[in-house]
Structure 1
Amino acid sequence: MPDDRSTDEPPITVSRRTALAALGGALGLGAAGVYAASTLATDDGDALAGDFRREDGQSAHLEVNYAGSPVLGSLEADLRLFYWSDYQCPYCKRFDVDTLPKLAENHVATGDLAIVFLELPVFGADSDVAAAASKCAWRVARDDDPNAWGRWHRQVFAQQGDKNDGWASEDRLYEYTRGVDGVAEDELRVCMDERRDAVTAAVQEDVTTAVDDLGLRRATPAFAMSNVTTGKWLGIPGAQPYETFEKVVERLQET
């Protein structure tokens, strides 16, 4: 059964899809490497350093398709962080609140890192609906105001309740959308009505890439960080603190 628990598993270093070495000792991960409990604050503004943008094509080494997914930062960056999440996952919300802003400030804004946001619904029907709605929200916002998707994304996480208690139902997602500048509720509804098959297929492509192609666990959050120059990448399992991502950045930047 899929879960969203944090984990003390070490990242895995690979080149393409062949494992090279485990980094548990090198990165110093262990029981202390997972998140401690923290109070989550919500963010209603454009708090992330850097801008969201539309990109097409796919990553050269991991073959992750950018089309249909928001990218934070420039693909001119040497490092790419691929981030799979589920809106019903509390550890995904924790990453978004505690760690993502630091990565954006310290690495996206400096041009070192681009972050690609992908879907990995694991908790049933409401997770599936939220993932499809996220893809639709991006379709609505990506050409005129890509940062509006970031506001929508944070708005949904800010409403997070217990899994499958109805907070992430389609009707509730439309309610949240009314409070997001740049994502029109009527346009989101049209996308969900008329483009449901297409966005559902895009979500499934995200899942297939993570689980079948890259061999990541079907658990959230899930990450893969790659160096586009060397072709090396690290899978980062579960909810890890900011310091772990810093160590992964340092390791991948080594020549």
Structure 2
Amino acid sequence: MAGSKHSSKETSDPKKGRIVIFSSVIVIVLVAAILVMIFSNQNREEAKPKKQPTHRTEQTARIDYQGQPYIGSSNAPVKVVEFSDYHCPYCKEFEETVIPKLNNDYVKTGKVSFYFINNTILGPGSVLAANAAEEVYHQNPKAFWAFHQAVFQAQKNEKEQWVSKKLLTDIAKKTVPSIDLKAFQNALDTKSRQNDVDKDNAMADSLGVPGTPYIFVGDKAVEEAQDYEVLKKAIDSALAANK
């Protein structure tokens, strides 16, 4: 029988085998190198001091006295602040019963400076009156208090919309003879002092003011300060702490 022929070699090519082995070694080395790099990076990251999640720290809000109407000496050792609304009957009561005592006992004696800041919580009339008062203050700071007191005196039932442009203009004419009526009426028509009012309201919000009138002695809120004896005690305590 004639011998059969084979189309392939019976034995493997040694050169080809060496190439396969060499390629496999290179792949293994590369994989090992990648793993080493990954492991090293992880170790470096773990070695770094990790930043703790930062949370917004609640800081005690502070009263910004700049640009606010006040009576008394700017150098008085204690500042008393009222957040108030011209439409609020309790604010009217505070103005008529507490402020005169505060003025006589502490402001005139140089112990306290008293600041008034808007907190317009009772609607459009409150906002309009606040704009009017801000315009008067910017025109004539000394005349502010006469206008301020007259607005409270004109106050009617809080359920009535008693604040009007005419009323405020009439009060301005009587209490501030030098008033620039054109600018004053523009403030009423366009609420050109609304930025100042908004700033006051934002401050009240940041301080957590719950209503009006609300009183601070220094940076400390005084609950029930409509009672003059309570307010007096808080002021005396602040004065003693400032000695």
Report the TM-score, using the length of structure 1 for normalisation: 0.66
Name the SS of the counterpart of 1:114 in structure 2: strand
**1:205 lines up with 2:191 in the alignment:** no
Partner of 2:18: none
Residue 193 of structure 1 and its aligned partner are, at CA, apart by 4.6
Residue 211 of structure 1 and its aligned partner are, at CA, apart by 1.7
**Where does structure 1 differ by over 3 angstroms across 4 or more consecutive aligned residues?**
190-194
Distance 1:215 1:176, change over 3 A: same
Residue 98 of structure 1 and its aligned partner are, at CA, apart by 0.6
Partner of 1:215: 208
Q: Name stretches of at least 5 consecutive residues in structure 2 with no aligned partner.
A: 1-58
Distance 1:249 1:94, change over 3 A: same
Matches within 5 A, 1:163-182: 163=158, 165-182=160-177
Note if contact 2:82-2:115 (Cα within 8 Å) is conserved in structure 1: yes
Structure showing the higher strand proportion among its residues: 1
Give the residue type in structure 2 aligned to 1:242.
Y
Q: Give the alignment partner of residue 145 of structure 2, picking from 141, 150, 154.
A: 150
Distance 1:246 1:183, change over 3 A: farther
Larger Cα Rg: Structure 1 or Structure 2? Answer: 2
Identity %: 25
Partner of 2:71: 72
Distance 1:216 1:166, change over 3 A: closer
Give the residue type in structure 1 aligned to 2:163.
A
**1:122 lines up with 2:114 in the alignment:** no
Name the SS of the counterpart of 1:254 in structure 2: helix
Q: Name stretches of at least 5 consecutive residues in structure 1 with no aligned partner.
A: 1-15, 18-60, 227-232
Residue 183 of structure 1 and its aligned partner are, at CA, apart by 5.2
Between the two proteins, the alignment pairs up a number of residues equal to 182
Residue 185 of structure 1 and its aligned partner are, at CA, apart by 6.2
Give the residue type in structure 2 aligned to 1:169.
S
Cα distance in 1 for residues equivalent to 2:231 and 2:187: 35
Note if contact 2:89-2:158 (Cα within 8 Å) is conserved in structure 1: no
Give the residue type in structure 1 aligned to 2:157.
D
**1:248 lines up with 2:242 in the alignment:** no
Partner of 1:90: 89
Distance 1:185 1:175, change over 3 A: farther
Partner of 2:24: none
Cα distance in 2 for residues equivalent to 1:101 and 1:71: 14
Partner of 2:185: 189
Distance 1:183 1:155, change over 3 A: farther
State the Cα deviation string for residues 118-174 of structure 1 (Å, max 9, x = none): 1011111111111111101111212xxx1x211111111111012252321222211
Report the TM-score, using the length of structure 2 for normalisation: 0.69
Q: Let me know the Cα RMSD of the aligned residues.
A: 2.0
State the Cα deviation string for residues 174-228 of structure 1 (Å, max 9, x = none): 122222144526142144456x34x11111111111222x2221x11011111xx
